[in-house]
Structure 1
């Protein structure tokens, strides 16, 4: 039909216009370049311009950014003024060609500035400038830290200060010799550091400060003080120990400038009866035995050194007796007792084990283990001429325990599963390991710790860890305990999602079965991109309508925070447990957001104009059908003869009334109106409505 051919022609024109707009500008390229130097030096308070030129498209959008922070935007030739950051409006302005001008520029505007030009349909173009703002250098002084230079300290620092100025270069000199960074000198910002200063560092230090607009020098004379050196202590007479009633002297001295003073300390008390560092002790008693400390002080540098000497005069052992128990061949118990030092040594014994055995200083006694020793306390008696003391030890068989596992990945990329079996016992339990019924020994695949409490399993393939029963037996001479564990693949036992009150941040938590081998987690999301801090969508590479990984967490993690979410959109989250490259079953999917997701809303919005267009086309088609039908119904009808009408009346009229489109009936038959009542006594035809027309809208 002709109208359908015209409709096809209009569709062709529409598609041609659409393709023309789609590919317009495909061969254009937006280019921006500096119209001057990219490194610009200027004095504070002056006016300077970062000049640019561009080509490739008219009236692009210009955005100036300082250190990733936008400071101004403007569309070339736009009637609206440039949008300048609030804290920069008194300084910055964007020129008609997109250049950035600084008016009475302050020092804090030093930095890197990037200009980005954008135009719809074209790739972004950008270039970067470095702006350095200086002040003239004035009134420079040098100081040292600390104030007094001391030999042997970690460092001596010369700092410079100035009334004003910005320094671009500093050069340090020692006695007119330029200093460079080495093991002894370190040039830092605003300072020179002398590492481990000594006597040879005494002299004049000079600093030269400069920038493109000024240059200044300053000097400082430095003196390094030293001492005291290592103290020397001499005891007269020299004996390993002294007996009560003896007399002795202790002398202490050391080199230093100025000469250090000497002070003796005994038991935290300063001894005043000394002369030039010599301490005289006469008619000593046992209570005077112990540690004597000599302290030498340089009163100028406040540097001090200490050295101690022990004077033994029948002193008691230090501290208290110590008791312990060891396993011998896993069938014997070895009890140990010690109370070291002291003169004479203490006598030690275990009365509960033997009435005849004893030892001096350190003593041990071995007995055969039996059930009678389980949870039995044994006492060690310590006898000394000055004091009697004791200690005790309680033996016990291993207690019940639960094996624990920890999963990591080593430097070779292997999965490392560490099984811990620790049971409280005295003496300490020895652990033996089995896989199934076979004993486990250290090798490439298995490693047992030196104390046998840990078993490390190393492999690349997670399948080699699974479906294996591991048994650890903790044993000492008094008994044993067994623990079993069967490793399982990466899995998550439970997970939860907790949003904040605004719906912009969520906390995702999860739990892992205690025997699951997990080295990490992938946090996955389905839905629109997350927002950045400025409220813009953060595009994630390879994003799709399915789940995508947005975070990766180590195997020890059990929660994570995700932000920033749009509370008006719908997101779905899940956690994938991983054992190196093997993924476990994902956690349940957690949904947050309103009823309709962002894509669904977008689909509805896109479907509305399509539905309207479809209804318009359908209405035009119905109108055309009605028009053709009406044209046929309006043909001229003539009255028929009475005889013919009577002949027709003898037959029942079974033809239904025709309804025209739009609900209009056809014109009445005037020949039938002239019939008699008997001739029109046939039953009226039944009205059959036309079938309904359904219109479907696809969303």
Structure 2
């Protein structure tokens, strides 16, 4: 590419960008926005500023409005003083950038403020602030109306008073729980109204008053007076018996004034946790069945009343019955059914296997393994007075499976191959390992996992991998499955190349045979090198006609991304599988790029040679035309009589070769002797053709 072409390319790239920025810079609008928060809180008597910023025009006219009333008018950088009402001049002050400052701000300046900026020809822009002025809260007290709260009265009210303060939020709590307006409570300004109070409204009430700069709380205990009368005991929900794990409550109620205290006792022990005469029992057990006694006491009158009730609790077994099948000596099948707990214990049986065998809680039945049990679902029937249930179990022989091979490198740099064999079966299949017809001996080289499903081979030698044949057998009483694993050296089964849309990035993917031992991959490339930056920041590129490694990937990798490719050039890629230092056969070579084609210099030479070739052909044609023209003119010259000696010399010539001028581009005269020969005649010598004697022609001048 010449310098002129490069300049044209850059000019075409940067000229639109310059035009865009030029057009954008030709227009600007006046814009005003808050330079800080638009919601501003301030303490009465402090200084506060509503900060703004503007852009798009110099020295706009500024107007601040309090609600809809203008309070400050000024033009920025104007020598004239701002226009501020007389009664606000000690409070309001406008800053050089148009911000509004309040000096010793009073409470009555709480309002919404709008700033408007205008500039001739650029329109108007505005933004709004909210200013709230607060006083700190001091000396909050609570009082009740009326003083005595009686159950069934219409209402009683809690009110708060304070020495000073501006309240932004008030919250009421009863027993630590927030109170909101509902059918029993009315939260009003400075008060809480409790409608139709009852004994459950006795407790501690709290009011919390807050603003952004202070908070205060006040507390008051309220007692609702009643009873006691004859207590009433109830269980909820009402049932003849309760199931273990259920929840219920026992309530003890009586009228009284002041309110009586309730105390529950069970088995000679006082129970804690009762509140308002209600005893809540959750997740009850059979040990909690019996007689419960409630005692009511009026603290002022000291009068007591007792009432008792009986509670019956049955327990069902927890969860659901569980079924399983185990191998007994790898010959028989042991069916297990478990549903522990409960009062009484559940009765368990396998009706399909035996009509007489029954167990309680935990039950096992051993039967001889047979083909009719393979894949057959057997049900365990579980009977309990509260609930009947069942569970199912299916015994099956091992199914076909594929061993999994995993290759790693230990801390000492040795190859470790792990073969994993698992076959779905019920009961679980035991795995045995063999090599060359003999059981694998556990030692330094071979290790078998505790569940026998994994064989670990340490210090694996890739060079003799064809001899490394292992067999894993999965077996249970119903059958077995056997798979032979022939470990292979590093190899690749398939590979693909996916370029991006621009051709600057390619993703190389590959697959590895399931039993191949691979610890890593070399990603190799042939062709121009990838662009790199040197110390001076310039990009350099080399090239290579041989494959060389550009990336190294671990054995678990199945893809590689290659960046910074030139879409105008041709690259070739392949993957080399490796097991430590041993290399396997490379993958298929993948090519990307426009192809081999002609080089730039060859194309330039052809382009320059075409005009020269045309010029050479033109000159050659002119030269041939000139020669033919001269020959014709010479043949048209006047012939004069010749002497007989000359004619005789001419007629005796035997050379029939045409003139030299006629040999360029013309065919020689045919050999009539050869044309007239038959195949049999051409095998013998024939007399040569003798031309007829010349005829004398005399020209008289």
Instruction: Name the larger-Rg structure.
Output: 2
Q: Structure 2 length normalisation: TM-score?
A: 0.44
